[in-house]
Structure 1
Amino acid sequence: MTITIRPEDVPVRGAGAHTFLLLHGGAGPGSMAGFADLLAERTGSRVLLPTHPGFGGTPRPDAPATTRDLAAAYAELLDRLGLSGVTVVGNSFGGWLAAELALLGGPRVGRAVIVDGIGAEVPGHPMTSVAGLDPAGLRRLSFHDERKAPRPPAGGGPGPDIAALVGYAGPAMSDPTLLERLAAVTVPVHVIWGESDGIVGVEYGKAYAGAMPHATFTVLPETGHLPQLETPGELLDAIRSPVR
């Protein structure tokens, strides 16, 4: 199906010749907001910080949509903005989206950064199921140091964002074809992983990186599933490092 993301609905941080597109995961756009500010300030770049349709109280697509459908919508957004050579940075579900955008190719994406991405099926290293976990259990899986976790929203429990995530990613939150398809990626990719990620471990990350011909793999120590919240400075340094 076709999803439209209007340029006027996408918040922008900073300004500069280079553009970053930040793609959030199930933790929602707020999990990327502070890092967007840091990235814009430290790199002197323009940073796009969209909210996936259906997240953050935004309208959901009126028909079933997949991760690939959403990636195509972001490709169309970049085309409508007349952008090329964009660095796409995605965390968790956003990492899966970044991989799909890299697969779409074209001049729009110059580089992809996958941060603790999901979406792959790695034999022997499955993604940890988070179904039914309370906020405390999810924090334990997501952070090396739970004290760095943001305060949970009032009321707690699953919200509309979970429904939106499952709507795109499916109940298994994976695509059995993804690793095989990633062999066709031609742009440079940097796969960055938190050493203490309890949702998708380091070996899962290595398989993600190993599926692509031009990928570099970096492990961040004392970091869980959400480096942009737990160790943002280290994540920024890794993003700015040259891809080999």
Structure 2
Amino acid sequence: MDYDLLDTGGGDRAVLVLHGGSGPRSVTSIVEHFAPRARVLAPTHPGWSGTPRPDVFTGVDDLALAYLDLLDDEDLADVVVVGSSFGGWVAAELAVRDRGRRVGRLVLLDAIGPEIAGHPLRLPQPPPGAPGPDPADLAALRTYAGPGLADPKLLRRLARVRVPALLLWGEDDVVVPPAFGKAYAAAFPDARFEPVAGAGHLPALQAPERTFDLIDEFLA
């Protein structure tokens, strides 16, 4: 599959960065954090930022398998996969399906994906007068995520993930609250949940110092 891919090249470690519904700009700080010392791969999901979406790409699994193919094609191992929001859902599905053991660590930031009772996903509403999300990006999100913006089967599939996972959550997230994140983390065999004070749904942008300290500690 053809898609836009930022590849920084070089570095001692490979990091795959998967953006959320607000597009590639939402993970720029993550890419910049890792780029000096790692090879960072940051694809733009087909359908975002004006990129075409193939008609056969209709689910999160299509993205997960495409990015696993990327890791296979590049023959990468011990890859750190970092996913924010919707990208976290893609990252989780990728880890579930990683039969080739390409993934070494998983970092999810305020990820959506599973259906968790009592915690429906609430898309953020822009303040009055502020621009809302790009309609084409929102349409792509709904195409991949489905009408419920969640997969009721994902939570139980996470038991297949054998790599350590770190789930970071903005304490003020109103899209998927910390209680959602704690339930998400509990479904992994080996996961750590960390709240991030002073952050909402995008902790890497809203509280970068604390967010990257936690990520670096996890990967050390």
TM-score, normalized by the shorter chain, greater than 0.5: yes
Residue 231 of structure 1 deviates from its aligned partner by 1.4
Q: What TM-score comes out, normalization by structure 1 length?
A: 0.84
Tell me, in whole angstroms, the C-alpha distance in 2 between the residues paired with 1:231 and 1:212: 25
Tell me, in whole angstroms, the C-alpha distance in 2 between the residues paired with 1:123 and 1:100: 20
Amino-acid identity (%):
48
Structure 1 gap ranges (5+): 138-151
Return closer, same or farther for 1:192/1:156 CA change in 2, 3 Å cut-off. closer
Asked if the contact 1:111/1:187 (under 8 Å) is kept, the reply is yes
Residue 201 of structure 1 deviates from its aligned partner by 0.3
Asked if the contact 1:116/1:226 (under 8 Å) is kept, the reply is yes
Residue 14 of structure 1 deviates from its aligned partner by 5.7
Q: 1:127 maps to which residue? A: 121
One of 123, 142, 155 as aligned partner of 1:179 = 155
3-state SS, counterpart of residue 33 of structure 1: helix
3-state SS, counterpart of residue 242 of structure 1: helix
Pairing of 1:47-66 with structure 2 (within 5 A) = 47-66=40-59
Letter in 2 for 1:192: L
Pairing of 1:215-234 with structure 2 (within 5 A) = 215-234=191-210
Tell me, in whole angstroms, the C-alpha distance in 2 between the residues paired with 1:186 and 1:27: 29
One of 65, 78, 81 as aligned partner of 1:72 = 65
Asked if the contact 1:191/1:217 (under 8 Å) is kept, the reply is yes
Q: 2:31 maps to which residue? A: 36
Tell me, in whole angstroms, the C-alpha distance in 1 between the residues paired with 2:101 and 2:115: 29
Residue 121 of structure 1 deviates from its aligned partner by 1.1
3-state SS, counterpart of residue 76 of structure 1: helix
Question: Does structure 1 residue 238 correspond to structure 2 residue 214?
Answer: yes
Q: What TM-score comes out, normalization by structure 2 length?
A: 0.92
Residue 129 of structure 1 deviates from its aligned partner by 4.4
Asked if the contact 2:85/2:112 (under 8 Å) is kept, the reply is yes
Return closer, same or farther for 1:129/1:40 CA change in 2, 3 Å cut-off. closer
Aligned length: 218
3-state SS, counterpart of residue 11 of structure 1: strand
Q: 1:84 maps to which residue? A: 77
3-state SS, counterpart of residue 211 of structure 2: helix
Return closer, same or farther for 1:51/1:194 CA change in 2, 3 Å cut-off. same
CA deviations 1:8-31 (Å, max 9, x no partner) are: x41123621101100000010111
Asked if the contact 2:197/2:207 (under 8 Å) is kept, the reply is no
One of 181, 191, 207 as aligned partner of 1:205 = 181
One of 11, 14, 17 as aligned partner of 1:22 = 17
Q: 2:140 maps to which residue? A: 164
Asked if the contact 1:102/1:185 (under 8 Å) is kept, the reply is yes
CA deviations 1:15-70 (Å, max 9, x no partner) are: 211011000000101111233112223xx111111100111110111235200111
Asked if the contact 1:103/1:182 (under 8 Å) is kept, the reply is yes
